[in-house]
Structure 1
Amino acid sequence: MFSMLNMRTARPSPPEDLTARALIRDAAIVHFARDGFRKTSLRAIATTAGVSASLVVHHFGSKERLRAECDEFVIGNMLATAHDKASPAGLQAVIQSYLANPAEYEVDVAYLSRAISEETAAGQNFVDTIVDETEAIIRAGIADGSMNPSSDPRAEAVLITMTSLAMMTMTSHLARALGFEGRGLGQETMRRLALPSVELYTHGLYTDETVLNITRNALAVTPEPASVPGAEPMPAREYSRREDTR
């Protein structure tokens, strides 16, 4: 939910950005999202952009370089909004924008979903970038007191990211399960998900620590691997502050 709300529209570009190069890039984003990278031709992109195929080659040289610029543009927009939503006012503005006009975000959602499902280097880079950005937001939230301490901020960031990305790549199943078949991540779907998702992150799911203690005890008697990449467990006395607030 949070990662998806981190995106701004990739098309159309602001009026001042409507150069031939931007028009080609925007057309390519639409084609790559809808048809996939392999099936999209430079000629099709040129037709949509209203330019010649030779002009596409002049500006970008190859389809691979064009794809790289599209990746940078879409991911850059997403990261910019991620910083905006780090504050309550920023988050409210992003949510209101999405609910008011979810169609504005459809191209970005489809583009990023395609990049992930095709398992390209760009898709992998996107996932890694989102995880890193989410971890940074979590650590900043813990530091300023707006988020509860975590036993493993990196793992928490991965869980949040993968949940959001699953929603992006399984939009048809998501909408159908909520009774909105064929509508994808439309206004009805997102309004239905908005409060439950934030409730889950704010209040949690369980009313006591029974499952937490069972898991902690199970881990305590299970041999630990020699090393866990990227894991920096929080000291027990620090993590206990979270338990004391429950």
Structure 2
Amino acid sequence: MSSIKDVGPPHEDLSTPAKIRDAAVRCFADSGFQKTSVRSIASAAGVSPGLIIHHFGSKDGLREACDEFILNKVLTKANEESSLQGFQSVLQNHLNNPGEFDLEVSYLRRAVSEDSPMGHKVITLVIDETEAVIRAGIADGTMNPSSDARALAVFVAMTSLAMLTMSEQINEALDAPGFNQAMTNRIAIPALELFTHGLYVDDSYLKAAQEVLSSTSKESNRP
């Protein structure tokens, strides 16, 4: 049985394909794609294995449907979070629906850690969306200019994705019971403090790095 709570409407309120998809998302998130069988998904969904093949063709086809479903949810939230009001709305939804949040994060963690096509899509999506948000913020004046918006986006995205790939180590460092909403709630404010106020009190380290990197660049360009 999956250790992840059922979320969303009751099974009887969903169409059969949606019921199967939601059950598969929970199974894949809990056990991983390779270890999850069509039979186990069928049992979780309360349908026959043959019905899964009828609707999705194969376990791979079902996985693709689950990937698309989760990616669409992630993309929708990323778009909503680009505004202050949207950010507050998404954050409040996380607080109101912790089971849904934990399920999505668990699914993404599996995808990234298993080095699946979905994992690569997630990484690309997170980086691209982060860059878009940064460039939009710079354009509207809500973010400070950057010398390299793409590199900054990669750094910010990798920091976020580390919470998926290094969840066990983060849990241990924070003495947390698992990767869940409580853990992300604890990290959210310090992270936003860093993004809002910065870490250093002056630009001494920035200037030191610029000086060293500039000298190195000049040396490498000499004939």
The equivalent residue for 1:232 is: none
Residue 55 of structure 1, aligned match among 31, 51, 55: 51
Contact 1:141 1:147 in 2 (8 A): yes
Structure 1 runs (4+) greater than 3 angstroms displaced: 13-17, 223-226
**1:37 alignment partner, SS class:** coil
The equivalent residue for 1:220 is: 214
CA-to-aligned-CA distance 1:170-207 (integer Å, 9 cap, x gap): 33332332233x243232x2332221110000111011
Contact 1:25 1:70 in 2 (8 A): yes
The equivalent residue for 2:127 is: 131
1:12: Cα distance to partner? Answer: 2.4
TM-score with structure 1 length normalisation? 0.81
1:86: Cα distance to partner? Answer: 1.1
Contact 2:27 2:41 in 1 (8 A): yes
The equivalent residue for 1:5 is: none
Q: Which amino acid aligns with 2:194?
A: L
Given the superposition, is the C-alpha separation of residues 73 and 157 from structure 1 closer, same or farther in structure 2, using an over 3 Å criterion?
A: same
Given the superposition, is the C-alpha separation of residues 13 and 171 from structure 1 closer, same or farther in structure 2, using an over 3 Å criterion?
A: farther
**1:122 alignment partner, SS class:** helix
Looking at secondary structure, tell me which structure has more helix per residue: 2
Tell me the C-alpha RMSD between the 2 structures. 2.3
Residue 199 of structure 1, aligned match among 193, 198, 201: 193
Given the superposition, is the C-alpha separation of residues 203 and 132 from structure 1 closer, same or farther in structure 2, using an over 3 Å criterion?
A: same
Given the superposition, is the C-alpha separation of residues 10 and 164 from structure 1 closer, same or farther in structure 2, using an over 3 Å criterion?
A: farther
For residues 13 and 168 of structure 1, what CA distance do their matches in structure 2 show?
Answer: 26
For residues 126 and 183 of structure 1, what CA distance do their matches in structure 2 show?
Answer: 22
Structure 1 residue 109 corresponds to structure 2 residue 81:
no
The equivalent residue for 2:179 is: 184
Contact 2:7 2:99 in 1 (8 A): no
CA-to-aligned-CA distance 1:207-244 (integer Å, 9 cap, x gap): 11111011111111224899xxxxxxxxxxxxxxxxxx
Aligned length: 216
The equivalent residue for 2:67 is: 71
For residues 216 and 60 of structure 2, what CA distance do their matches in structure 1 show?
Answer: 47
Q: Which amino acid aligns with 1:82?
A: A
Given the superposition, is the C-alpha separation of residues 48 and 10 from structure 1 closer, same or farther in structure 2, using an over 3 Å criterion?
A: closer
CA-to-aligned-CA distance 1:60-91 (integer Å, 9 cap, x gap): 10111111111111010011011111111111
Q: Which amino acid aligns with 1:197?
A: A
TM-score with structure 2 length normalisation? 0.89
For residues 11 and 185 of structure 2, what CA distance do their matches in structure 1 show?
Answer: 30
Contact 2:32 2:110 in 1 (8 A): yes
Q: Which amino acid aligns with 1:184?
A: F
Contact 1:10 1:29 in 2 (8 A): no
Structure 2: tracts of 5 or more residues without a match: none
Identity over aligned pairs, percent = 48
**1:150 alignment partner, SS class:** coil
Structure 1 residue 208 corresponds to structure 2 residue 214:
no
